[in-house]
Amino acid sequence: MNQSTPEMTPSDLYRRLLKYVKPYWLVFSAAIFAMAVFAATETGLAAMMKPLLDGSFIERDPQTIKLLPLGLIVLFLIRGTANFFTAYGLGWIARNIIKNLREEMFESLITLPSSFYDQSTSGQLMSKLLYDVEQVATATTDAILTIIRDTLTIIGLLAWMIYLNGMLSLIILTTVPIIGYFVYKISTRFRNISKNIQDSMGDVGHICNEVIDGHREVKTFGSQPYEIKRFDKVNQKNRQQRMKKIATEAISQPLIQLIAVLGLSVVIYLATLPEMLEAITVGSFISFITAMFMILTPLKRLTKVNSKLQAGIAAAHSIFSLLDQTPELDTGIKPLDHAQGDIKYQRVNFQYNNNNGPVLKDISFHAKTGQTIAFVGQSGSGKTTLVGLLARFYQITSGNILLDGIDINEFKLNDLRHQMSFVNQQVVLFKGTVADNIVYGHQEHVSNERIIEAAKSAHAWEFIEKLPQGLATHIGQNGVLLSGGQRQRIAIARALLSNAPILVLDEATASLDTEAERHIQAALETLMKQRTTLVIAHRLSTIEKADKIIVMHQGKIVETGTHASLITNGQHYAELHRLQFHEK
Ligand code: ADP
Ligand code: MG
């Protein structure tokens, strides 16, 4: 990722995260209160053991016998209510923060420059938006729950134990570090294994993905045995890691219990010494043991809280580094309603951010209003890059691009882009109906008649008509699949509908067969008539009528002229022409 955030320390990240919690402080306080109530009921539960045993079973006090069951019900009512408000309150805050973060990330994403997208895969960005946000919210909520509720619970129970018997408590406390050490060791191991499992799961997914996306390649290269072998390897590794986890899990539970029982045995031994027996009742003793056991679970969670926090912090870092990306530069202030369409490139040089050297060198040309300028040249010679610069997808390194005599950087970005419609080789259709896709980008309502008219002119109507629901047919996922040529015709219809003064056709007919292209040629010619057109053509027959043909080679303009003059010249263009017509 480019220009990522200057180092954010964990405390910076906490503080930033806290800002997202701030609007919900009231609910947050209520949740904390509920947590404190919950912690108190835990101690209450342990404390109840004393009257239960001493009062009911030993002394058979009728008052206690009557009250205890009732007290138990009340205690659990309070506990349940507190639990509900804690979970609901924290969950509510977490979901709100997730929603807010996603909103911010989406808004940031949509304003980022093209260079940012060049350097990140959609998978990376999606996982930030989908997983990292969840991770931040759940990890921090869990951590908060543990830090507040479990700490309070431990304090309460410990206080009760000390109240019952200070001496025994002291002995117990000495076993805590030993248990703590084992728990720590085991959870570190868990963490390492979990990470390995995640990685190997990623490998499994990765290979699946490749095979699914590249199913045609796998078939044509007959590489099924190779892929199966590759898959077996990662699949096997995943199983091994899983088994390690299962083994650790299976051994850790009894181990911790054993240590706990050791502590317990010491307590029982000490408590049954004659001197002790006098000082402690059965009820106190059982209550003490209960409290001791009840401490274990929150204690275990508390030892894990740091790794939870770390996971949350790592995710927060990933999110904030996206939010901190500089949005697309838009310093232009000149509004532009409808341009004339006079385009001038003056000594334009350009290089992508990747240090691969200049892609465009000293490009100058002039497209007068209404003219058609064609670009030809080998793939990789910079044609797509050149026309993209007009829409300021990237900032040029040096030189000027003028629209109607004014530097394009002076215009408001949206206004500038509004002057152009692009039809590319790779047509992107959006989820929705055919009609939605043709009117895409139109703010105002477009009547069906106009859509059909555009579709007819783009020779798209012929196939749209035959679709199950015509214009209302859904495209793509869960809808009909369109061929490359059909997609291009939809894109041409889209361009026909917009009355932008500049038209950019980047191999717009490359996916069409010659027959279909001939049909569309007429549509394109009407489309080009009232506009300035920059056309990149794969087939030279498409551009013979262009006002000017520019021949590109390795980022430079090597030849300029009309079809006739270039043929007479007998150089690059004539050579390309000869090759192409020889082929057919
Ligand atoms: P053409 O359209 O003539 O085939 P392009 O403009 O697509 O050529 O590419 C020109 C050069 O720029 C190529 O060397 C290509 O590898 C490089 N290039 C194209 N797009 C990018 C990008 N987004 N990031 C980095 N380099 C790119
Ligand atoms: Mg190209």
3-state SS, residue 5: coil
Q: Which residues pair with 549 in a beta bridge?
A: 374, 561
Q: Which of 21-30, 78-87, 110-119, 254-263 has the lowest mean pLDDT?
A: 254-263
Q: Which of 116, 359, 379 to mutate to test the pocket of ligand 1 (most atoms within 8 A of CB)?
A: 359
Q: Which of 385, 389, 506 to mutate to test the pocket of ligand 1 (most atoms within 8 A of CB)?
A: 385
Q: Which residue has the tokens 């530069």?
A: 329
Q: Kindly state the average pLDDT of the residues 466-471.
A: 89
The answer to whether residue 458 scores a pLDDT higher than 90 is no
| Dihedral sign (CA 413, 414, 416, 421) | positive
Kindly give the distance from the C-alpha atom of residue 380 to the centroid of ligand 1, in angstroms, as a whole number: 6
Kindly give the distance from the C-alpha atom of residue 360 to the centroid of ligand 2, in angstroms, as a whole number: 13
Instruction: Express each pLDDT in 10-46 by its tens digit.
Output: 788 888 988 999 999 999 999 999 999 999 999 999 9
pTM of the model: 0.77
Closest to 131 (Cα-Cα) out of 100, 106, 98: 98
Kindly give the distance from the C-alpha atom of residue 99 to the centroid of ligand 1, in angstroms, as a whole number: 37
Instruction: Express each pLDDT in 76-93 by its tens digit.
Output: 999 999 999 999 999 999
Closest to 403 (Cα-Cα) out of 261, 504, 527: 504
How many Å apart are CA 119 and CA 263, to the nearest integer?
A: 57
pLDDT band at 507 (very low <50, low <70, confident <90, very high): confident
Report the chain's mean pLDDT, rounded to a whole number: 87
pLDDT band at 242 (very low <50, low <70, confident <90, very high): confident
The answer to whether residue 558 scores a pLDDT higher than 80 is yes
The answer to whether residue 64 scores a pLDDT higher than 80 is no
Nearest residue by C-alpha to atom 5 in ligand 1: 382
Q: Kindly state the average pLDDT of the residues 121-139.
A: 84
| Dihedral sign (CA 575, 577, 578, 584) | positive
Q: Which of 121, 350, 352 to mutate to test the pocket of ligand 1 (most atoms within 8 A of CB)?
A: 352
Pocket around ligand 1 at a 6 A CB cut-off? 118, 352, 354, 359, 377, 379-385
